């Protein structure tokens, strides 16, 4: 346990932040010691992974558990699939790259998403038409209140669009230790997402392999999204609004040019388009601003405080609500 630790390097938005207490978890046994310390000192626990989906305030009370555990283990193989257990502290993109290099399919659309494996089920990370929840078989975790281990099946994780039970009923109550994935050995990649379909058409990929899609996603993402290591950001700052058919029809009367994509229950509207339509792409001189190539990405190049970031995000929400009647939902979670 370490006191008064600087967390600026541990969050990709690079907001100045200090933890009252900090414990790096590099082995499974480290949790027990940290949990006992927190219990003895009556300190609350907060789990930090890759720091790519949080807005950290200047002071975090209690004990921050930094999930850094590594490890991958193949549990079961057959002709059609492989089941693999991955430690929560593993880097997400490195795991995706490794899985594709093994000849397994499924995760190629989710390449280059920042963060850790343990955070993936919390957000039910998704990109280019795919969501991780469809490939998770179960999640192994520790209860922060009791210190006991538990296991949740895919159904118990209650995955939804950028959502899961870990963001609702079990919010901030668990340390995810291991995620078990079931990945197909052969599967036809999903390239239906417009940007991915356009890339495949442009490069003559008529029957793309998972590796082709993996490389395509890398090319698309690097062409328009900033590297958090160079330009502090947390990726998509807002969720794409999900509208009913009636809500969409009403908006299209006022804004016929509004892009939208069909979903199971209504339609999805790109938040980036709404933000850009409100003029935020032109505000490139502000210390916190949206990225010049993608309005959904809020950047913090001058490493401003969480307060400054949150105020800017609130301005975006207010402007979009006033013009379109839509309240954008923030993706990264606020702490401190």
Q: What is the DSSP string of 169-227?
A: TTTTSEEEEEEEEEEESS------SHHHHHHHHHTT-SS--HHHHHHHHHHHHHHHS--
Round to whole Å and give the CA distance between 161 and 179: 19
Signed CA dihedral, 266, 272, 273, 274: sign only: positive
- SS3 assignment for 297-311: EEECCCCCCHHHHHH
For the annotated catalytic residues, the residue numbers are 162, 236, 331
Round to whole Å and give the CA distance between 116 and 69: 10
What pairing do the DSSP bridges indicate for beta strands 233-236 and 261-263?
unpaired
Round to whole Å and give the CA distance between 71 and 228: 24
CA distances from 260 to 125, 188, 235, 257 (A): 20, 25, 21, 9
Round to whole Å and give the CA distance between 320 and 326: 6
Torsion angle defined by CA atoms of residues 164, 166, 168 and 174, in that order, rounded to the nearest 10 degrees: 170
Round to whole Å and give the CA distance between 101 and 121: 22
113 phi/psi in degrees, rounded to 5? -75, 125
Neighbour-count burial for 87-115, b at 16+ CB within 10 Å, e otherwise: bbbbbbbebbbbbbeeebbbbbbbbbbbb
Residues 6+ apart with CB under 8 A from 221: 111, 112
CA distances from 137 to 60, 131, 159, 198, 296 (A): 33, 13, 12, 32, 31
């Amino acid at each position: 346990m370490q006191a008064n630790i600087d967390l600026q390097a541990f969050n990709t938005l690079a907001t100045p932040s200090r933890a009252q207490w900090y414990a790096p978890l590099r082995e499974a046994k480290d949790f027990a010691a940290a949990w006992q310390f927190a219990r003895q000192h009556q300190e609350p626990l907060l789990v930090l992974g890759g720091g790519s989906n949080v807005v950290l305030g200047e002071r975090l009370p209690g004990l921050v558990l930094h999930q850094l555990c590594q490890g991958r283990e193949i549990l079961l193989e057959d002709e059609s699939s492989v089941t693999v257990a991955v430690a929560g502290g593993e880097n997400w993109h490195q795991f995706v790259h490794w899985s594709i290099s093994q000849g397994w399919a499924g995760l190629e659309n989710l390449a280059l998403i920042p963060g850790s494996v343990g955070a993936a089920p919390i957000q039910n990370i998704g990109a280019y038409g795919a969501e991780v929840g469809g490939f998770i078989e179960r999640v192994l975790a520790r209860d922060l209140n009791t210190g006991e281990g538990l296991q949740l099946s895919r159904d118990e994780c209650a995955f939804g669009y950028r959502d899961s039970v870990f963001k609702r009923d079990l919010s901030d109550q668990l340390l995810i230790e291991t995620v078990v994935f079931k990945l197909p050995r052969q599967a036809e990649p999903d390239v239906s997402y417009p940007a991915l379909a356009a890339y495949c058409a442009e490069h003559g990929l008529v029957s793309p392999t998972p590796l082709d899609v993996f490389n395509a996603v890398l090319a698309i993402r690097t062409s328009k999204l900033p590297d958090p290591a160079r330009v502090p950001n947390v990726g998509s700052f807002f969720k794409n609004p999900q509208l009913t058919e009636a809500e969409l029809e009403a908006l299209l009367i006022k804004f016929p040019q509004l892009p939208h994509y069909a979903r199971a229950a209504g339609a999805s509207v790109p938040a980036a388009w709404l933000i850009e339509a409100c003029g935020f792409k032109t505000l490139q001189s502000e210390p916190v601003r949206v990225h010049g190539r993608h309005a959904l990405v809020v950047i913090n190049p001058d490493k401003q405080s969480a307060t400054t970031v949150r105020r800017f995000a609130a301005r975006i929400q207010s402007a979009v609500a006033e013009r379109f009647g839509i309240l954008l939902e923030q993706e990264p979670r606020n702490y401190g």
